[in-house]
Structure 1
Amino acid sequence: MKLFYQILYYFQKRGYYVCQRIAERFGIRAKVVRTSFMYLTFVTLGFGFALYLFIAFWIRIKDIIYTKRSSVFDL
């Protein structure tokens, strides 16, 4: 059972970050984005989850490419 909670905690910690970034981008609350993804997943039989994974992947790639550097010497 402990393994289940560790996996759940891992996904909650990293999964909610996607919703938070989307909410910050659009200027709305993260709770609204999370519930929208849940409803979209139930209504479209998994399309919302696939969209969520695509956005998470896109944000991860964007963060890798556009890292903020404090000076020129951080290259």
Structure 2
Amino acid sequence: MNKFKQFIEWHVFGVCTAIGERMGIATTTIRKYFIYLSFATIGSPVIIYFFLAFWMNVKRYVLNARRNPVRYL
């Protein structure tokens, strides 16, 4: 069950998980505050969330291209 949870967290953007691991804060706490902020500000943190998800995806793609440049030619 833990592997399934980890798979879902990292493949459904994983923004809160990445922020939690980088800052040393529990992922559930970050998710809880994100939900509270979304309700309080009528959804504006959702735009920030999607921007961070896009940035993480681009970063992951660029790092993979650097590690294995022959694969993408």
Q: How many residues align?
A: 59
Query: TM-score, normalized by length of structure 2?
Result: 0.69
Give RMSD over aligned pairs: 1.7
Aligned residue identity for 1:17: G
Q: CA deviation at 1:15?
A: 3.2
Gapped regions of structure 2 (runs ≥ 5)? 1-7
Q: Is residue 2:31 matched to residue 1:47?
A: no
- 1:15-39 per-residue CA deviation (whole Å, 9 max, x = no partner) reads 3622111111111111111111101
Over the matched positions of the two proteins, sequence identity in percent amounts to: 36
Inter-partner Cα distance in structure 2 for 1:19 and 1:27: 12
Q: In 1, are the aligned partners of 2:16 and 2:31 still within 8 Å (CA)? A: yes
Q: In 2, are the aligned partners of 1:37 and 1:52 still within 8 Å (CA)? A: no
Which of the pair has the greater relative contact order for Cα pairs under 8 Å at 6+ separation? 2
Moved over 2 A (4+): 13-16
Gapped regions of structure 1 (runs ≥ 5)? 1-12
* Alignment map for 1:7-46 (pairs within 5 Å): 13=8, 14-15=11-12, 17-46=14-43
